């Protein structure tokens, strides 16, 4: 999806580094409509599951872990999360976080170990400062790792265990 929207992995990397264009989500919807929905209609079985997967994909996931967490939010029917959201303190951007639930002031970070191995101690220090500043501003931060997000039950247990107030944002089950 990212390559389809941004034209290449390099384009996606540049967008992540310098900021996503304001029309990113509209571009993704167009790609889904043109590239994926026609195929969905030709499936002989599995259309409901494929539709559910399509409703969860987007160009803002910067890793497989983030994609899985976005899908988990759909499976858990948790509403109100924004992905790759900027958090301001009133003067400046403190951080761009993986997932933000503004109403409950909850941040979810999906951590990959290679990020720190590739970028070193400097990145760890920068993120520690951001983390502390976000806590000072009253945000609750939940950190999930790859194992957490690849197992729905573990993900739900950790997320709702650390942020039980999110339960009030679970949408009612729709009967079809």
Locate the domains of the chain by residue range. 1-60, 61-176
Of 164 and 36, which is predicted with more confidence? 164
| pLDDT tens string 1-15 | 777 777 777 777 777
Residue 123 to residue 41: CA distance in whole angstroms: 45
The band of 156, judged by pLDDT with boundaries at 50, 70 and 90, is very high
| pLDDT tens string 97-127 | 999 999 999 999 998 655 555 556 777 888 8
Residue 154 to residue 143: CA distance in whole angstroms: 13
Of 97 and 60, which is predicted with more confidence? 97
- For the chain, how big is the Rg over CA atoms in Å? 17
Q: What is the pLDDT of residue 52?
A: 75
Edge-to-edge order in the sheet of strand 140-145:
81-88, 93-101, 106-111, 140-145
Please tell us whether the domain made up of 61-176 is placed in CATH 3.40.50.2300: no
Q: Report the pLDDT averaged over residues 31-55.
A: 83
**Helices and strands of the chain, counted as H and E runs:** 9, 4
Question: pTM for the complete prediction?
Answer: 0.76
Q: What is the pLDDT of residue 28?
A: 77
H or E segment at 125? helix 113-136
Q: What is the pLDDT of residue 132?
A: 94
Residue 153: is its pLDDT beyond 90? yes
- Assign 81 to helix, strand or coil: strand
User: With contact defined as beta carbons under 8 Å apart, do 67 and 44 qualify?
Assistant: no
- The least confident of 66-70, 123-127, 151-155 is 123-127
């Amino acid at each position: 999806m990212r390559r389809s929207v941004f034209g290449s992995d390099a384009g996606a990397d540049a967008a992540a580094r310098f900021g996503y264009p304001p029309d990113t989500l509209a571009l993704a919807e167009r790609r889904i409509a043109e590239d994926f929905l026609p195929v969905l209609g030709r499936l002989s079985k599995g259309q409901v599951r494929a539709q559910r997967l399509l409703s969860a994909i987007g160009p803002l996931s910067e890793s497989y872990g983030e994609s899985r967490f976005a899908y988990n939010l759909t499976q858990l029917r948790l509403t109100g999360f924004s992905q790759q959201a900027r958090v301001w303190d009133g003067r400046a951007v403190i951080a761009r976080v993986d997932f933000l639930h503004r109403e409950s002031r909850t941040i979810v970070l999906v951590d990959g170990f290679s990020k720190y191995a590739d970028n070193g101690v400097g990145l760890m220090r920068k993120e520690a400062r951001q983390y502390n500043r976000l806590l000072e501003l009253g945000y609750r931060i939940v950190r999930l790792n790859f194992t957490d997000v690849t197992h729905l039950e573990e993900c739900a247990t950790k997320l709702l265990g650390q942020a039980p107030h999110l339960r009030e944002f679970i949408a009612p089950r729709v009967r079809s």
